[in-house]
Amino acid sequence: MSHSTKSASDWHKDTIAIHGGEAPQDPHGALVPPMYQTSTFVFDNAAQGGRRFAGEEEGYMYSRLGNPTVAQLEQRVAELEGMQAGAASATGMGAISATMLAFLKQGDHVVASDAIYGCSFALFSHLFERFGIHVTFVDMSDLAATEAAFTDKTQLVFVETPANPHLKLIDIQAVANFAHQRQARLVVDNTFMTPLLQRPAELGADLIVHSATKYLNGHGDVVAGVVVGNQQDIELIKLTTLKDMGATMSAHDAWLILRGLKTLPIRMQRHCENALQVVDFLQSQPAVSRLYFPGLETHPGYAIGQKQMRAAGAIIAFDMRDGYESALQLLNNLKMIKLAVSLGDAETLIQHPASMTHSPLTPEARATAGIGDGLVRLSVGLEHSDDIIADLKQSFATIG
């Protein structure tokens, strides 16, 4: 629980990013809370250890079961998302796996967006099916098709919006209404937007997951995840799947993400400003046949974005007119922009989804999701926009 002296509900999100989940004043007066880099915790006596393991006394026992540094991060992200509690994990996929499996059993059904991260697709379509959990992938921008996908065994609904990689937008509130009418929980992956640009809890989401590797940390030096929700749901995740499967976060990673969160508001502002400049440039390129960016009025989900997003974000996708070969030529001739998967770092990153992040999808699934061989995904970083554009321009010039 948060030990802040002032309720987070009284603060702006910029302030929560710095002060959310603060513990009491350090006894030595340290401005930055210490990192509790320890695997285990010492009890005053045997009876105290027994009480803590029995749940009769609050306190720490073993870092897989809870750690003060990790707890501070969990509460800060929860407050940013307007939720009660959080659970941090070793990776973003750890957060998704622990969240989904905490509420599913053999015979249950999941409705998932047809456009999601490749490893999420692999988890749902391959591993879940092995254990008798069935998943229906549906184009959730089609509300009639989404409603028709529900069965009497549907327990969870999983949504990414904007969808990875081509930024399809999904009406969170409409999908939440379908889910709740059928007593199902809605899980929203909010990695692309962060709590500053989109607040799924206000639109009816029950659980919100993040790859904290991305914008929350923002510096490309951590792999981590987090899920936030109400106290009861988060306690269930922590006490079952997260604890028993062991995908918990280290204190060091939590400390780094806490540091990264302090600059999240100003980083997101610069990311978004740069992205608008890059979009303007890409619109002028004849080698680009289609541009995917929620801030464009031509985007099919533009009206939804205006309703549920505070800005369009900093991820851009585009189709190369001549397909795969021209996409590879563009990627291979960049000089400053880094050819790498992931997103949300200070550096601008570019990648080829069909052969990289979304390669776990079958060719048929990629086609259904609109992930063509000429699709490129760009994560706009914090460099000067002129330099990002100059590098893209010289690479486009190499394409015959």
Residue numbers annotated as active site: 64, 117, 189, 214
* Amino acid of residue 351: Q
Q: Are 366 and 354 in contact (CB under 8 A)?
A: yes
Exposure of 263 in the CB half-sphere (CA atoms within 13 A): 15
Cα-Cα-Cα-Cα dihedral sign, residues 187, 262, 317, 283: positive
Task: Report d(CA 400, CA 390) in Å as an integer.
Answer: 18
Q: How many angstroms separate the CA atoms of 60 and 42, rounded? A: 9
From the list 158, 60, 68, the residue with the least C-alpha distance to 113 is 158
CA distance 291 to 349: 17
Asked if 188 and 182 count as a contact pair (C-beta separation under 8 A), the reply is: no
| Closest to 389 in 3D by CA, of 285, 264, 265 | 285
Cα separation, 15 vs 4, whole angstroms: 12
Tokens found for residue 383: 């460099």
- CA–CA gap between residue 215 and residue 302 (Å, rounded): 23
DSSP helix/strand/coil, 40: strand
Residue type, 277: Q
- Looking at the chain, how many residues does it have? 400
What token pair was written down for 312? 């369009």
Amino acid identity at 84: Q
CA-based end-to-end distance of the chain? 59
- Alpha carbons 298 and 222: distance in angstroms, whole number: 36
Q: Tell me the backbone φ, ψ of residue 362, rounded to 5 degrees.
A: -65, 160
Position 320: which residue type?
M
Q: Are 61 and 51 in contact (CB under 8 A)?
A: no
The DSSP output letter for 248 is B
